[in-house]
Amino acid sequence: MDESQGRELAGSRIVVVGGGVIGTLHAYSALARGATVVHLERDPTPQGATVRNFGLVWVSGRAPGRELELALRARELWRGIGSDVASVGFRANGSLTLATRPDEMEVMTCVAARADSPRRGFELLDQDEVRRRNPALQGTFLGGLYCALDAAVESRRALGALRDAMGSTKRYDYLAGREIVGMGDSEVIDHLGARHRGDQVFLCLGATVSGFGAELFEGELLRTVRLQMAETEPFGSVLTTSVANGDSLRYYPAYQEFVDRLEAQDERAAHYAVQLLCQQRLHGGLTIGDTHESDESDHFETRDEPLSLIAAMAQQLIGDAMPRIERRWSGTYHQLIDPGPDDVYFRKRVANGVTAITGVGGRGMTLAPAIAEESFR
């Protein structure tokens, strides 16, 4: 791994709790700065939102201001990580957000004309230009908004690839199956009674918290959001970009100043807060989703209706070659409630030398390298 970022943490011991992308990139960033890292994860392997998502590094949808600046920096860092650790599957494939109605095309036209459009790599395309950019799209649409800076990694492989790379430094100790039950100044205590001390401790627990973790965030302005997704059999063509549909304009803050120009969303799709995102995995299958429902404590099942809507949206854009769904799943993430313009995620000092980080929302994969960098400034 590249240690050219500097060795300002040489001789330091960093403890990271949480094996998702936020925790893993904290460990990676600390090692690149010369630290020794102890990395704790509750499950045998990470099973939270990081491995249940698209692996998208999504610059296009970020809000102007601090969120966009973090995303642009993270995109640069991901490029370097992908170069150093090829097996994370980083690819600068760009994205196409497709309009199927005139009102969606109008919003995309306004976005493409905005002053920050060149920084995001935006380009407005008509139907023929979309098909030249991504020939696999043989469905029905009017045109689309291309983003050159959007990228992807392999969400199921990336964390393991990064752990392997970190292990090669001989300064990284990964301890799976360790539930954190308490903390003190500059230390955490796991369920086996072991105390893990460090010059700095970072709690990157994600949304699936109980016991100590639930107590830690009780009363904070966080909500839990539920996503539903699916993966298809291998697709017979190459999807050269990531793909989104026009409903994405409703759910990403980059487009909020123009959202009142959109017609009402389909009532069923609005009920589940559905948008289409579609990313082809390296093995050929398509990952499709997702929803933005508020999680309910008794809502353990995965409903068929939202995934049926998502599959229909994908087929509308891809056409008859859309492959059959092979598997489906759900997940949750923490999101800030009523954040200010500079409140992109939750960061709080919870004890001397101990910092909790969560509430990144659906932006964890995109922003993780830049959030970790902020922790070591």
Residues 332 and 234 placed together within one structural domain of the fold: yes
Residues 372 and 256 placed together within one structural domain of the fold: no
Who's near 155: CB < 8 A, 6+ residues apart?
A: 50, 51, 52, 53, 54, 55, 365
Residues 279 and 311 placed together within one structural domain of the fold: yes
Residues 233 and 325 placed together within one structural domain of the fold: yes
- CATH number of the domain within which 362 lies: 3.50.50.60
pTM of the model: 0.94
Q: Give the Cα separation of 260 and 124 in Å (integer).
A: 20
* 342-370: average pLDDT: 94
Cα–Cα distances (Å) from 158 to 51, 60, 85, 291, in that order, read 9, 22, 9, 23
Query: H/E/C letters for each residue in 98-126?
Result: EECCHHHHHHHHHHHCCCCHHHHCEEEEE
Distance of CA 209 to the CA centre of its chain: 19
Binned at pLDDT 50, 70 and 90, residue 209 comes out as low
* 102-127: average pLDDT: 97
Is the pLDDT at 79 greater than 90? The verdict is: yes
Residues 155 and 291 placed together within one structural domain of the fold: no
For 3-54, what is each residue's pLDDT tens digit? 555 579 999 999 999 999 999 999 999 999 999 999 999 988 877 766 678 8
* 243-255: average pLDDT: 96
Residues 111 and 130 placed together within one structural domain of the fold: yes
Residue with tokens 């380009």: 123
Highest mean pLDDT among 49-63, 65-79, 212-226: 65-79
Is the pLDDT at 299 greater than 70? The verdict is: no
Residues 32 and 164 placed together within one structural domain of the fold: yes
Residues 290 and 240 placed together within one structural domain of the fold: yes
Q: Give the Cα separation of 138 and 91 in Å (integer).
A: 23
Binned at pLDDT 50, 70 and 90, residue 197 comes out as very high
Residues 229 and 165 placed together within one structural domain of the fold: no
Domain count, the chain: 2
pLDDT at 240 (0 to 100): 98
Domain residues for the domain of 296 are 95-148+222-336
**345, burial (CB in 10 Å: exposed 0-12, middle 13-18, buried 19+):** buried
Is the pLDDT at 116 greater than 80? The verdict is: yes
Binned at pLDDT 50, 70 and 90, residue 296 comes out as low
- CATH number of the domain within which 331 lies: 3.30.9.10
Residues 195 and 282 placed together within one structural domain of the fold: no
Is the pLDDT at 217 greater than 90? The verdict is: no
Binned at pLDDT 50, 70 and 90, residue 2 comes out as low
Tokens for 179, please give them: 């539930």
Residues 295 and 251 placed together within one structural domain of the fold: yes
Is the pLDDT at 349 greater than 90? The verdict is: yes
For 134-162, what is each residue's pLDDT tens digit? 999 999 999 999 999 999 999 999 999 99
Residues 175 and 213 placed together within one structural domain of the fold: yes
